[in-house]
A and B are shown apart, each in its own frame.
Chain A
Amino acid sequence: MSLLEIQNLTVTFHQDGREIRAVRNVSLTVEKGETLALVGESGSGKSLTALSTVKLRPDTAEYSGQVLFKGVDTLKMAARDLQSVRGNDISFIFQEPMTSLNPLHTIDKQLAESLLLHQGLTGAAARARVIELLTKVGIADPESRLSAYPHQLSGGQRQRVMIAMALANGPELLIADEPTTALDVTIQAQILELLADLKRAEGLSLLFITHDLTIVRRIADRVAVMKDGEVVETGPVEQVFTNPQHPYTRSLLAAEPQGAPNPVAADAPEVLHTDKLRVWFPIHRGLLRRTVGHIKAVNEANIRLRRGETLGIVGESGSGKTTLALALLRLMPFEGRAVFLGRDLGKVRGAELRAMRRDMQIVFQDPFGSLSPRMTAEQIIAEGLTVHGLEPGRDRGEMVAEIMREVGLDPATMTRYPHEFSGGQRQRIAIARAMILRPQLLVLDEPTSALDMTVQVQIVDLLRALQEKWQLAYLFISHDLRVVRALAHRVMVMKSGDVVEEGAADVVLANPAHPYTRALLKAAFGDRG
């Protein structure tokens, strides 16, 4: 008998009188001691399927089919029995460790709560078990960490605590919902290793939800591919990866940014040039608010960027990549010298600065957050025109339609609101908003990392085509070296505000000098890199 057997599971939501079937006829099995990876793009119903196993979903969901856990149908269980299964036999790890932990309670308290609830452990026994668990998930010096609050831990440590919580009651099935997506690549590898070790040591079964195929190859025994609420293909990892049957699986596997950037003309003029650019935030202490030190968000960055060239800025979160970009756009104060199109960026003010903004634009990471939800696509795209004026003799609607065609959007959709577009389309709107002013410099702050793989490829192609057509200079911020390799001429690697490595993209990627660059390379290309 399989540990978990899902048969013909269908989950239906009712909204505004309509029926939405988010999961359709899904059948899956997880054997004891096995890792099953559930792969699919956002909205494919993979998380919903996993959460439905213990009915962790809003009351409005309606279920049909069977979920047999050790032969018992959890969908028909009473709420009390279900609660003893949740967190006890089946445990969860979620994507965002910061929001999964209660910020107001110490690690000790949060772990002990679960022990008390399911095992009745209190006092010294509970404490001993907590320390044992923290040791098991690889937290160094666990005794001193007991009284720490979640914000005092790093992202990786928080995720380790989450795993400790999930393991607290000796579950048989661990459901991990994108557990490494919010973490830096180097931490990601450690967490994956930890999960693999624990699985072996504890004899756990793992249901691993992810959109990242590199992770699947590394950790899973079998894989199930989901699309639009249905499982389209399932099988052992080797078989699915080497011989995919379903066309969707094939497109998913093929979705890797291809190609190389177009060469830069030898006589291309310089667009941007910085000398020892610094962004330091002062730390104030004491009664008189004296400055006792600085947080060095960006420390002495020297940038040269020419027309038609892409500089890839690579680094983990908190390394100062985004701060550097915001400083170059004058959205954040900086020290040092920055020259943009022959003018000193540090010195322009007021109307002159506003006029200069026409030539430097930015595209953000999150296509959901970067578009105002209450404006139509036309209003969003045309916003820059209301500030900088129309091209003489041209109509606003006409200009919006032209730019929409250029970025691959149907101009007929310009009256729609952002929520009516898909993630990739929204990112195209964000690009159109920046491009309608015909800037010289485009800062791209992780423009692909919130998108599904197949969409990433399209956006990379679009960006490359736009660069060739308009000879744009790109400042491309990313932690995904696959995308960087496809777009960047030169690469700059940042770590805690410092530039640790810099050079031509092919040189840096082929022969990385810094250990961090090597870790990034391994994460991006696996062992093939």
Chain B
Amino acid sequence: MAPSALKLSALNQRRWKNFKANRRAVWALVLFATLYILSLGAELLANDKPLLVSYRGEWRMPFLTFYSERDFGGDFQTEAVYPDPVVKCLIKSGGMVECFDGPETLIQSIDLGKMDGAPGFQKGWILSAPIPYSFNTINNVEGAAPSAPDDKHLLGTDDTARDVLARVIYGFRLSISFALIVSVLTSIIGVIAGAVQGYFGGLTDLIFQRVIEIWGAIPMLYVIIIVAAIWRMNFWLLVILSVVFGWMGLVGLVRAEFLRARNFEYVRAAQALGVTDRVIIFRHVLPNAMVATLTYLPFIITGAIGSLASLDYLGFGLPSSAPSLGELTQQAKQNLQAPWLAFTAFVTFSTMLSLLVFVFEGVRDALDPRKTFR
């Protein structure tokens, strides 16, 4: 059994070959996967907490662990504010009290090597993330926010003085993760609901269809506004709401496939063998309904990205502190004098959606049995 289960069937081998023949889709997939994997490690790319510090010869990873300022020889029990020159000085000097008076000059002396051998001094160092801001770091640079791109903020800052590049990296991860989770959950529920309706048909189908019609008529936006008034909106709550009101998308398609397939002779043959309905649904009919489902999946994924963005844009989505591309778009509209916001939002969305469309175009063509590849 094992080898046949591991090996792709001839059909899937042909599909994989067809997909690989589409160069644009392959490149889009590689690029998209790279971007998404990179964004999964967003904390390593953009973080206001250092990745690694050496304090008195001891290595600490502040981006993972909580350290109070007192742990670095400071006064407060709150978490160390790493961008603060005092904290920087404390780490580099090994906790010298002189840091409270003139941290900048002391850091300069340490960097020049003048402090070597001084009493109480133990040289330390800080390894920051490439972008030393997280999505919610407020960096009050001189001048009004939003500030234009410069060497500190490659894509400028938004209207609360947060680094746009950092927010884009986190926002990309959030958008894609949201879309993938919502798509997988809605697909599972939709496929099961469609399968049950289509396979049993008759009264089950009739009742289920009416329920779906009523359920589909509930305006999702109002429900989200009401729910947001009761609880503070967060990622998982939004996922649940999107799934609860979004699972109907696939039902019609899968139901139609099952209505067609349940009269196939191999289904009849399985019934004659005494195979149970559940096994027939999963073993015989579902694999044949999956192709139609897969070709429909891209619309669900891009739709989920779009719905998250539009909710955020309207201000009914995640709280404004969350790294959201929709919120960036909203800011761009309110701050037309800061075109880098609009430009960034546009490029991010168009890249993300184009890559997905290219990938799924390749998937759809590879699954199409009528399409011939030379």
Which residues of A line the B interface, CB within 8 A?
Answer: 13-17, 58, 60, 326, 329, 331, 353-355, 357-358, 360-362, 364-366, 369-376, 383-384, 386-388, 415, 417, 420, 430, 433, 437
Contacts and interface: CB of A to CB of B under 8 A. Distances in A.
Given A14-B374, A376-B4, A370 B269 contact: yes
A420 B14 CA distance: 14
Contacts of A365: 265
Contact of A16 (B17, B264, B270): B17
Interface stretch (B201-209, B240-248, B271-279): B271-279
A366 B11 contact: no
A362 to B, nearest CB: 5
A369 B264 contact: yes
B266 A369 contact: yes
B333 interface: no
A293 B264 CA distance: 29
A16 B371 CA distance: 11
B288 interface: yes
Contacts of A370: 264-266, 268-269
22 contacts: A14-B372, A15-B372, A15-B374, A329-B272, A331-B268, A353-B274, A358-B274, A362-B268, A362-B272, A364-B269, A365-B265, A366-B265, A369-B264, A372-B287, A373-B288, A374-B11, A374-B288, A383-B270, A384-B273, A387-B273, A388-B274, A417-B9
Given A14-B374, A372-B284, A364 B274 contact: no
Given A364-B268, A374-B11, 7 more contacts: A354-B276, A357-B274, A364-B269, A369-B265, A369-B266, A387-B273, A420-B10
Nearest to A437: B273
A326 B271 CA distance: 11
A325 B91 CA distance: 86
Top 6 nearest A-B pairs (CB, nearest first) are: A357-B274, A370-B265, A354-B274, A364-B265, A374-B287, A369-B265
Interface residues of B, number: 25
Given A14-B374, A373-B288, A417-B11, A361 B265 contact: no
Interface string B183-220: 00000000000000000000000000000000000000
A329 B265 CA distance: 14
A16 B14 contact: yes
Contacts of A360: 272
Interface in B110-168: none
B66 interface: no
B374 A17 contact: yes
Contacts of A329: 272
A383 B283 CA distance: 10
From A360, A361, A372, A386, residue with most partner B Cβ within 10 Å:
A372
Nearest to B10: A417
A358 B273 CA distance: 7
B275 A387 contact: yes
Contact of B275 (A13, A373, A383): A383
Given A370-B265, A370-B266, A372-B288, A361 B273 contact: yes
A375 B276 CA distance: 17
Nearest to A17: B374
A388 B276 CA distance: 11
Interface in B256-302: 264-266, 268-276, 283-284, 287-288
Given A15-B372, A60-B372, A374-B9, A331 B269 contact: no
A420 B11 CA distance: 11
A430 B372 CA distance: 30
Nearest to A418: B266
A172 to B, nearest CB: 33
A355 B266 CA distance: 20
B373 interface: yes
Which of A358, A369, A437 is packed against the most chain B CB atoms within 10 Å? A369
Nearest to A371: B266
Interface string B349-374: 00000000000000000000000111
Contacts of B374: 14-15, 17
Contacts of A357: 272-274
B288 A16 contact: no
Nearest to B273: A384
A387 B272 contact: no
A360 to B, nearest CB: 8
B284 A433 contact: no
A383 B275 CA distance: 8
Nearest to B269: A370
Nearest to B21: A16
B275 A362 contact: no
B317 to A, nearest CB: 41
A430 B274 contact: no
Nearest to B261: A372
Contacts of A376: 4
A298 B145 CA distance: 83
Nearest to B4: A415
Contacts of B275: 383, 386-387
A386 B274 CA distance: 10
B181 to A, nearest CB: 28
A388 B264 CA distance: 23
A297 to B, nearest CB: 16
Interface string B1-24: 000100001110010010000000
A263 B268 CA distance: 32
A14 B4 CA distance: 28
Contacts of B274: 353-355, 357-358, 384, 387-388
Contacts of A388: 274
A372 B266 CA distance: 6
A16 B373 contact: yes
Contacts of B272: 329, 331, 357, 360-362
Contacts of B269: 362, 364, 370, 430, 433
A24 to B, nearest CB: 20
Contacts of B265: 364-366, 369-370
A5 B274 CA distance: 56
Contacts of B10: 417, 420
Nearest to A374: B287
A387 B280 CA distance: 12
A17 B20 CA distance: 14
Contacts of A361: 272-273
Nearest to A354: B274
B7 to A, nearest CB: 9
A419 B266 CA distance: 14
B161 to A, nearest CB: 57
A159 to B, nearest CB: 25
Contacts of B266: 369-372
A72 B14 CA distance: 41
Q: Which of B10, B274, B284 is most buried by chain A, counting CB atoms within 10 A of its CB?
A: B274
Given A374-B288, A417-B10, A433 B273 contact: yes
A388 B374 CA distance: 46
A298 to B, nearest CB: 17
Nearest to B374: A14
Contacts of B264: 369-370
Contacts of A417: 9-11
Contacts of A372: 266, 270, 283-284, 287-288
